Amino acid sequence: MAKERGRNTYAFYTGEIADGLQERLAMETGLRRALERDELLLYYQPQFNAATQRLTGVEALLRWRHPEQGLIPPNRFIPLAEESDLIDALGGWVLRRACAQARAWLDAGLAPVRIAINVSGHQILHQQLVEELEAALHSNGLSAGDAAIEVEITESVLQGVEHSGKVLQRLRDIGIRVAVDDFGTGYSSLSVLKQMPIDTLKIDRLFVRNIPDDTDAKAIVSAVISMAHTLGLRVVAEGVETSAQLGFLREEGCDEVQGYLLGFPELPEQIALLLRAQGAAAVLPAGPA
């Protein structure tokens, strides 16, 4: 009896593992095909000056337009790509696509706009990031001046101070800015932040979400903003969804905001409209309240 149940349990688990494995294999094959068949695309979410609500830049966010499953968000395939060698191909595609987009917006007569690109720790580790970015800028006839590129890394990248520091410094040497994404969810020490060649801290949505009801969240956000300013860093708050959050962030001197309150991730045509509207008006009309 016990033996039988044991065997069944075993069968159950192997079945589950096999299913999971199969799903991952299918996903991996699908992703390789997605690259070949041009099923990937970038959305762009606007970032605004917190005080003036002028558009300051956009963040490129990857999507996979799956032939059967529709639009798949990055959290469902990036982690898998990071476990295989696929992240390098995917990351390379993102860099080239974003630079091509910068070129297209310029060609449409729009003012240069900063583009933030999410970069996986693996891309920093595997080294070719700097060369790939240089090549992508060059092949689109862009200088660092007309394409203000910002690379977003996570705090975990800062752990490898020696190696990461060198790569980030090389990025800055070619005019690319560096932002630390999801700040507050990792374990960066002050000394590491001070030591690393970075320009921007992005406060994680987790903290912004609990403003203004949660006094702890408010204290953390204020502390991060003043600490960042002390270190000479620009602060962007992520996931701003309410005008109360925006109000608090503005009062605390947060430099920029990004979130559904002011703009969703959009296709390039929508961003072009936004850029055009901004070119016409000195100040953007306030976003939806």
Which amino acid, 141? Answer: G
Strand partners of residue 179: 152, 200
Q: Which is nearer to ligand C2E, 142 or 262 (CB)?
A: 262
Give CA–CA dist 192/248, Å, rounded: 28
Strand partners, 58: 46, 115
Q: What is the largest CA-CA distance in the chain?
A: 79
For tokens 């001070």, the residue is: 194
Q: Which residue number, 106 or 159, has a Cβ lying nearer to Mg ion?
A: 159
147 binds, among Mg ion, ligand C2E, none (CB under 5 to 8 A by kind): none
CA distances 224 to 112, 245, 285, Å, are 29, 15, 29
Residue 143 neighbours by CB under 8 Å, 6+ apart:
137, 175
Query: Which of residues 32 and 97 has its CB atom nearest to Mg ion in the complex?
Result: 97
Binding to Mg ion, residues 236-255 (CB under 5 A): 238
DSSP class of residue 196? S
Using rule CB under 5 A, residue 181 touches Mg ion: yes
Verify binding: residue 88, Mg ion, rule CB under 5 A.
no
Out of Mg ion, ligand C2E, none, what residue 74 binds, judged by CB under 5 to 8 A for its kind, is ligand C2E
Rule CB under 6 A: which residues touch ligand C2E?
45, 61-62, 73-75, 78, 91, 94, 118-120, 152, 181-182, 205, 238-241, 258-260, 265
Count of positions on this chain that bind Mg ion (CB under 5 A): 5
**Whose Cβ is closer to ligand C2E: residue 20's or residue 73's?**
73
Pick the closer one to ligand C2E by CB: 91 or 252. 91
Which tokens go with 29?
């094959």
Picked from Mg ion, ligand C2E, none, the partner binding residue 141 (CB below 5 to 8 A depending on kind) is: none
> Considering the complex, what minimum distance in angstroms separates the CB of residue 221 from ligand C2E?
15
Going by the DSSP 8-state scheme, the letter that residue 254 receives in this structure is: -
| Residue among 22 and 65 whose Cβ is closer to ligand C2E | 65
140 CB-side CA count, 13 A = 23
Residue closer to ligand C2E (CB basis): 152 or 255: 152
Selection from 76, 146, 162 nearest residue 107 by Cα: 146
Give the residue at shortest CB distance from ligand C2E: 259
Q: Minimum distance from CB of 60 to Mg ion (Å)?
A: 9
- Per-residue mark of binding to Mg ion, 113-152 (x: CB under 5 A): -----x---------------------------------x
Q: In angstroms, rounded to a whole number, what is the distance separating the alpha carbons of residues 176 and 169?
A: 9
Give me the least distance between CB of 207 and Mg ion, in Å please: 11
DSSP H helices, the chain, are 2-36, 78-83, 86-107, 121-125, 129-139, 161-173, 190-195, 205-209, 215-230, 243-251, 268-280
Q: Which amino acid is at 161?
A: V
Residue 256 interacts with Mg ion (CB under 5 A): yes or no:
no
Q: Is the peptide bond before 288 cis (omega within 30 degrees of 0)?
A: no
Please report, as ranges, the residues that interact with Mg ion according to CB under 5 A.
Answer: 118, 152, 181-182, 238
